[in-house]
């Protein structure tokens, strides 16, 4: 059987790095990872199409995005280019060449007003420009590729290859620093390792439409930080719960973006955190 050529954008991101390493374990895949220097998603549509013509992937997995929520408020043009126009360009190319596209999206497409966890059937209503740009990207993929495109939403992502909330809290606790943590933001923390597993399932089953790729359960940022503190045996006095408004973020944050996972047998966010901490310990041991 001929190898399938997979293009992973955002090759230097947290998910991109983990995903490339996982995909390269399979002989049936020829895997190509691109960074911004190789495939600039802020470039004109024609340039993106030209690069895809050169690579000619059978499968595109778009993990690249402008994810800085507050930066998107001030540089909305860049957010729109990368998070909306580029996915549309990829979807157009995939439609013309019979390729399958997995587009990674976010829980921030929701307004956070729901009292229970969001499902893929819930209607997006973003309250900040980052969420709006990602929602436009979702709509572009789904309208252009109804039979070959998947929007895979994830949330509160953490992994070994980038700065994230978990690494921020861990570093603060290890350095005995006091930190303020939002107590009124609810969501579903997701480990990149488990999200990679869900993506591999999608490569096998080829679902289309919208799915939620996250760990299971719901928590607050403060509860998540407390869980880390207990695991690291750090003093309780280092964590101070505050309301989100205390941070004066430029972009408003949705109160609840917890999501229902679309995949069976995915561990809880607590189990994911335990596995992540074990991986970190292993990496430190071998360093």
Tens digits of residue pLDDT in 202-255:
999 999 999 999 999 999 999 999 999 999 999 999 999 999 999 999 999 999
Residue 280 pLDDT: 85
pLDDT of 286 > 70? The answer is no
The answer to whether the CB of 104 falls within 8 A of the CB of 154 is: yes
DSSP 107: G
The answer to whether the CB of 8 falls within 8 A of the CB of 16 is: yes
Q: Kindly report the backbone phi and psi dihedral angles of residue 93, in degrees, each rounded to the nearest multiple of 5, phi listed first.
A: -65, -45
Residue 160: pLDDT band with limits 50, 70, 90: confident
**Under CATH, which number does the domain 4-163+189-217+258-268 receive?**
3.40.50.720
The answer to whether the CB of 63 falls within 8 A of the CB of 16 is: yes
Residue 115: pLDDT band with limits 50, 70, 90: very high
Q: Kindly report the backbone phi and psi dihedral angles of residue 186, in degrees, each rounded to the nearest multiple of 5, phi listed first.
A: -105, 140
- Looking at every residue in the chain, the average pLDDT score rounds to 96
pLDDT of 282 > 80? The answer is no
For CA atoms 202, 104, 136, 82, the dihedral sign is negative
Write out the two tokens for 17: 């790095």
CA atoms of 17 and 221, how far apart (whole Å): 25
CA atoms of 116 and 25, how far apart (whole Å): 38
Q: What is the percent of the chain where pLDDT is above 70?
A: 98
Residue 162 pLDDT: 81
Residue 276: pLDDT band with limits 50, 70, 90: very high
Residue 283: pLDDT band with limits 50, 70, 90: low
Question: Which spans in the chain are helix H?
Answer: 14-23, 45-55, 69-74, 76-80, 86-97, 129-144, 165-174, 192-205, 221-231, 269-286
Q: CB-hemisphere CA count at 13 Å for 71? A: 7
Q: What is the percent of the chain where pLDDT is above 90?
A: 95
How confident is the model over 37-56, as a mean pLDDT? 96
Q: Kindly report the backbone phi and psi dihedral angles of residue 164, in degrees, each rounded to the nearest multiple of 5, phi listed first.
A: -155, 180
DSSP 67: -
Residues near 156 by Cβ (< 8 Å), separated by ≥ 6?
Answer: 107, 165, 187, 188, 189, 190, 214, 224
Q: Which residues pair with 187 in a beta bridge?
A: 219
**Residue given tokens 């990679």 in the structure block:** 196
pLDDT of 285 > 70? The answer is no
pLDDT of 13 > 60? The answer is yes
Residue 2 pLDDT: 76
CA atoms of 50 and 171, how far apart (whole Å): 42
Q: Kindly report the backbone phi and psi dihedral angles of residue 6, in degrees, each rounded to the nearest multiple of 5, phi listed first.
A: -110, 130
Residue 161 pLDDT: 81
Residues near 172 by Cβ (< 8 Å), separated by ≥ 6?
Answer: 178, 179, 238
Q: What is the pLDDT of residues 56-95, one digit of tens each?
A: 999 999 999 999 999 999 999 999 999 999 999 999 999 9
Q: Kindly report the backbone phi and psi dihedral angles of residue 40, in degrees, each rounded to the nearest multiple of 5, phi listed first.
A: -85, 110
Residue 171 pLDDT: 94
- Give the residue numbers marked as catalytic: 130
């Amino acid at each position: 059987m001929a190898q399938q050529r997979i293009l992973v954008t955002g090759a230097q991101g947290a998910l991109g790095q983990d995903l490339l390493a996982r995909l390269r374990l399979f002989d049936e895949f020829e895997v190509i990872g691109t960074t911004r220097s190789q495939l600039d998603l802020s470039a004109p549509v024609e340039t993106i199409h030209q690069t895809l013509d050169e690579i000619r992937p059978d499968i595109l997995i778009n993990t690249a995005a402008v994810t800085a929520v507050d930066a998107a408020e001030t540089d909305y043009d860049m957010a729109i280019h990368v998070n909306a126009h580029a996915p549309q360009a990829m979807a157009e190319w995939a439609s013309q060449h019979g390729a399958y596209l997995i587009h990674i999206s976010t829980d921030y497409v929701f307004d956070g007003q729901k009292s229970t966890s969001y499902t893929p059937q819930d209607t997006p209503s973003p309250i900040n420009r980052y969420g709006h740009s990602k929602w436009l990207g979702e709509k572009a993929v789904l309208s252009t590729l109804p039979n070959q495109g998947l929007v895979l939403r994830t949330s509160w992502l953490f992994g070994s290859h980038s700065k994230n909330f978990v690494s921020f809290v861990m570093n603060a606790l290890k350095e005995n620093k006091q930190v303020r943590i939002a107590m009124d933001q609810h969501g579903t923390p997701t480990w990149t390792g488990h999200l990679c597993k869900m993506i591999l399932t999608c490569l096998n089953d080829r679902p289309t439409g919208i799915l939620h790729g996250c760990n299971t359960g719901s928590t607050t940022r403060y509860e998540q930080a407390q869980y880390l503190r207990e695991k690291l045996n750090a003093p309780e006095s280092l964590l101070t719960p505050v309301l989100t408004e205390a941070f004066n973020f430029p972009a408003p944050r949705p109160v609840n973006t917890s999501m229902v996972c679309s995949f069976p047998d995915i561990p809880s966010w607590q189990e994911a955190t335990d596995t992540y901490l074990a991986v970190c310990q292993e990496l430190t041991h071998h360093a």
